[in-house]
Amino acid sequence: MRDQSATILDVANLRTVFNTRDGQVFAVNDVSFYLRPGELLGIVGESGSGKSVTMMSLLKLLPMPPAEIQGGSIEFDGRDIRNVPDDELRKIRGGDIGFIFQDPMTSLNPVFTVGFQIIEPLRVHMGLNKKQARKRAAELLELVGIPDASARLKDYPHQFSGGMRQRVMIAIALACDPKVLIADEPTTALDVTIQAQILELIKDLRQKLGMAIIWITHDLGVIAEIADRVAVMYAGQIVEHAEVKELFANPQHPYTRALLETLPKMGEARGTRLASIDGQPPNLDHLPVSCEFAPRCKHAFDRCRAENPQRRDVSPAHDVACFWDYSSGGPTDA
Amino acid sequence: MLNYTLRRLMFTIPTLLLISFIIFLILDLAPNDPTGNLPLTIPPEVREKIRQSLGLDAPMYIRYLLWSQQFFINEPLNLLNQWFGWCIGDCEGRLRVSSWATRSPVVDLIAERMPQTLWVVGMSYVVGILIAVPIGVISAYKQYSWFDQIGTFIAMIGFSVPTFFTGVLLIVIFSVWVPNDSFFWLPSIYDTTLEVVDWDSFMLQVRQMIMPVMVLGLFNAAQISRFMRASMLDNLSQDYVRTARAKGLKEKTVLLVHVLRNSMIPVVTVIALGIPQIFGGAIITEQIFKVNGLGQLLIIGIQGADIPLVQTLTFLFAVLIVLFNLIADVLYGLLDPRIRYE
Ligand SMILES: Nc1ncnc2c1ncn2[C@@H]1O[C@H](COP(=O)(O)OP(=O)(O)OP(=O)(O)O)[C@@H](O)[C@H]1O
Ligand SMILES: [Mg+2]
């Protein structure tokens, strides 16, 4: 199923739980995925499906407590980083793995200049002195397309627009030449034209710098445009995973199909309502013992309500967690 | 910023004039008689003469204008003369705001009392802040830990038990129970005549300051530490904290640079706004420990119906409040780059 030797990041059976006052929230359940150097992996799923929590678990960026990583292994660059000491983990954060967050409006510290915030990781990870760091910070701002970069280092975040702030966040994430960039819905909070610009920027930077990228989104349209491979998440689990062409051509999970149907079609008249998936999003207050999608699934049958489907290979590099077999139009063999 | 500050300063002038007038009105309405404390044997005609000599027969607004002239014009001119030797106008015969009881200029009385109050009150505020900030930071960072729980408990006590109780309690413990010759014995009376000349007198000064400073300081600390904790908690859950961690910064840097800097913004304003209140709160503490500072002066003035003294002191407190409101606003603008007063 996978070529172990060539992965930069390999996550197996990750399980993250929130211990809240109202009981446990099982946000990430047995999630496994891998990432090859230079590759772009897209993660899709509706709101609350555990995309952000999965990625933040990798670098322990969740508030603990309430979050608790209960199981799994996280291998980065041949090293298990789930149980490394804090100072080792800090070297990876911002050094080997850069992170861009969902909301650029709140992700920068309002009382420090943008220059200060870009320089910080440069000094920590690359050991640059003030002058070198300042120079590199200006270069980075230029790289992400902020005009008049060296003058803008002295500005505060509130003096930048949302799109510009996200560019600053990208500059920070890329500051130390990371091997992996995790972009958690970097364009969701921005308007459409700015979204397109940021998307172009990332594509461009990927060409220039060649890092591997994990791109989280709930927009399959974006995935189609930039991703090499896709993992679809539902209720804290990966329910389908394939190369991007394969996924769009031959979706195997009813949820993936439903997602694809919500995409506006080419040639469709403007103003037709976007389709949405019927039914309630799943409740995460229990470990999955049956298929979490079954209540919303038109193919669901008895087995789906009794047993949680495991990921099975459909073809090389394409797997799905479903008991329904679209090729035969009936249940898979038990 | 400068523009804003100047404009605010301009605005304070009518505000303060109005306040001074209101204070004057209220004091005038109060049924008090400066001759009331004189022996009963003094005949009524003589009392009337004394009142006239104090200018009490003049109408209210004349008396207010006189006070205003003396306080707003003559006193500043006199200060210029005393400090720099500049003499403008009649330097000898100029009328000053004088106490009815002692006949000496009120401003001189205040200048005499000021150092004691500043030492005790100022020290207690500094001590309060020094205790409160770290406690607030740790309580927030380790929310619901035993440290936080104990801190909350003590702050609640410190906040709800009045200083006249803690003051007397400390006196009972450290001046009465603890034997005189013990190292832990502390004097219950603040001796203002003590001059610090050598190590021994310095230690005496420290000893006599401990109790009043601690009583006021703990009270302040209780309040400020709560603010600090709340403000830290507000900021700890912000997205930028996660960004700072994702950059690989040390936990210490995240907390003491990123979070603390943001958390201090509201706390600094609360501290600045609290300074004038402290002078008010000191009245009681000064009374308990016999510190002859401003608070005690005010009490003497009130008891003796010494209107000029009370008027001037009350007005000075008002000036402090207005002034520190302005300072708080300016500090806010300096600390928070998002705020630009235009
Ligand atoms: N601090 C927390 N305490 C309790 N539950 C949490 C916490 N953070 C996240 N969760 C839960 O974890 C689940 C997954 O959240 P996550 O943020 O990963 O969703 P997501 O897929 O990123 O959604 P979105 O597209 O809206 O960003 C959600 O059901 C959420 O309620
Ligand atoms: Mg998310």
Q: Which chain A residue has the Cα nearest residue B235? A: A109
Report the distance separating Cα B205 and Cα B194, nearest Å.
7
Q: Which residues of A touch B261 (CB under 8 A)?
A: 109, 111-112
pLDDT in tens, B289-333: 888 888 888 888 888 878 888 888 888 888 888 888 888 888 888
- Alpha carbon distance, N-terminus to C-terminus of chain A: 21
Alpha-carbon dihedral angle through residues A84, A88, A94, A100, given to the nearest 10 degrees: 10
Grouping H, G, I as helix, E, B as strand and the rest as coil, residue A197 is helix
Which of B142, B144, B234, B243 has the most A C-beta neighbours within 10 Å, making it the best mutation to test the interface with A?
Answer: B243
8 Å CB contact between A23 and A285: yes
Tell me, yes or no, if A103 comes closer than 8 A to chain B by beta carbon: yes
Neighbour tally for B34: CB within 10 Å: 18
Are the C-beta atoms of B33 and B304 separated by less than 8 Å?
no
A178 interfaces chain B, CB cutoff of 8 Å:
no
Residue at token pair 């499906």: A49
* Chain B residues interacting with chain A (CB cutoff of 8 angstroms): 237-240, 242-251, 253, 258, 261-262, 265, 335-338
Taking only the tens place, the pLDDT of each residue in A146-199 is 888 888 888 999 888 888 888 899 889 888 888 899 998 887 777 777 778 888
- Pairing mode, strands A40-44 and A9-20: unpaired
> Mutate which of B231, B247, B250 to disrupt the A interface (most A C-beta within 10 Å)?
B247
Q: Whose CA is nearest to atom 4 of ligand 1?
A: A18
Q: Looking at residue A266, what is its pLDDT?
A: 61
How confident is the model at residue B241, as a pLDDT? 93
Q: A218 CB less than 6 Å from ligand 1?
A: yes
Task: Report which of residues B44 and B90 the model is more confident about.
Answer: B44
pLDDT(B340) > 70: no
- Give the separation between CA B219 and CA B200, rounded to whole angstroms: 29
CB atoms within 10 A of CB A332: 14
Residues of chain A with pLDDT under 70: 1-5, 264-276, 334
- Pairwise CA distance, residues A172 & A182, whole Å: 12
Tell me which amino acid residue A190 is.
Answer: L
- pLDDT tens sequence across B237-289: 899 999 999 998 998 999 999 999 999 888 988 888 888 877 776 788 888 88
CA of A18 to the centre of ligand 1 (A): 10
In this structure, the number of other CB atoms found within 10 A of the CB of residue A78 comes to 9
Asked whether the predicted pLDDT for residue B185 surpasses 50, the reply is yes
Ligand nearest to the CA of residue A29, numbered in listed order = 1
pLDDT at A1: 47
Whether residues A94 and B336 touch (CB distance < 8 A) is answered with: no
What distance in Å separates residue B141's CA from the closest CA in chain A? 12
- B132/A252 Cα distance (integer angstroms): 60
Amino acid at A179: K
DSSP assigned state of B98: B
Helix ranges (DSSP H) in chain B? 2-29, 44-53, 60-68, 75-84, 106-117, 123-141, 146-160, 163-171, 199-236, 239-246, 251-253, 260-289, 294-303, 307-335
Q: Are B306 and B101 in contact (CB under 8 A)?
A: yes
Taking a C-beta distance cutoff of 8 angstroms, is the pair B74, B95 a contact?
yes
pLDDT of residue B63: 83
Q: Compute the half-sphere exposure of residue B91: CA atoms within 13 Å on the CB side of its CA.
A: 10
Query: Which pLDDT band holds residue B216 (cuts at 50, 70, 90)?
Result: confident
pLDDT for res B281: 67
Residues with CB under 5 A from ligand 2 (ion): A 52
User: CA A300 from chain center: how many Å?
Assistant: 28
Token pair listed for B18: 């109005």
Q: Which of A276, A283, A244, A229 is nearest to A23 (CA)?
A: A283
Cβ A50 under 6 angstroms from ligand 1 = yes
Higher pLDDT, residue B278 or B161: B161
CB-based contact A106 B240, cutoff 8 Å: yes
ipTM, two decimals: 0.85
Shortest alpha-carbon distance between residue A93 and chain B (Å): 5
Pairing outcome for strands A9-20 and A23-35: antiparallel
User: How many Cα atoms occupy the beta-carbon half-sphere of B288 within 13 Å?
Assistant: 25
Please give the mean pLDDT across all residues of chain B: 84
Asked whether A47 lines ligand 1 (CB < 6 A), one says: yes
**What pLDDT score was predicted for residue A269?**
55
With a cut of 70, say whether residue B32 has pLDDT above it.
no
Helix axes A162-174 and A192-209, enclosed angle (nearest 10)? 20
Q: Please tell me if the CB atom of residue A18 comes closer than 6 angstroms to any atom of ligand 1.
A: yes
pLDDT of residue B134 exceeding 60: yes
Q: What amino acid occupies position B168? A: V
- In which region does residue B305 sit, left (phi positive, over 0), alpha (psi from -120 to 50) or beta (all else)? left
Ligand 1 contact via A316 beta carbon (within 6 Å) = no
Q: What is the pLDDT of residue A66?
A: 86
Helices (H), A82-219: 86-92, 104-107, 114-126, 130-143, 149-152, 162-174, 192-209
CB atoms within 10 A of CB B69: 13
A108 touches chain B (CB under 8 A): yes
Ligand 2 mean position, distance from CA A145 (Å): 26
Query: B280 or B161: which carries more pLDDT confidence?
Result: B161
Is residue B69 pLDDT above 50, yes or no?
Answer: yes
What are the Cα distances from residue A46, in Å, to A3, A234, A236? 29, 7, 11
Dist. CA B22 → ligand 1 center (Å): 58
Question: What is the reported pLDDT for B235?
Answer: 92
DSSP letters spanning A217-252: ES-HHHHHHH-SEEEEEETTEEEEEEEHHHHHHS--
Q: How far apart, in whole angstroms, are the C-alpha atoms of residue A18 and residue A67?
A: 4
Q: Is the CB of A14 under 6 A from ligand 1?
A: no
CB A252 within 8 A of CB A259: no
Query: Residue B71 pLDDT > 70, yes or no?
Result: yes
DSSP code, position A264: P
Ligand nearest to the CA of A62: 1
pLDDT at B45 over 60: yes
Nearest beta carbon to residue B246 from set A86, A99, A158: A99
How far is it, in rounded angstroms, from Cα B138 to Cα B256?
11
Q: Any bridge partners for residue A40, and if so which?
A: A213
**Which residue in B120, B31, B71 sits closest to B318, CA to CA?**
B71
CB pairs A-B closer than 8 Å: 76
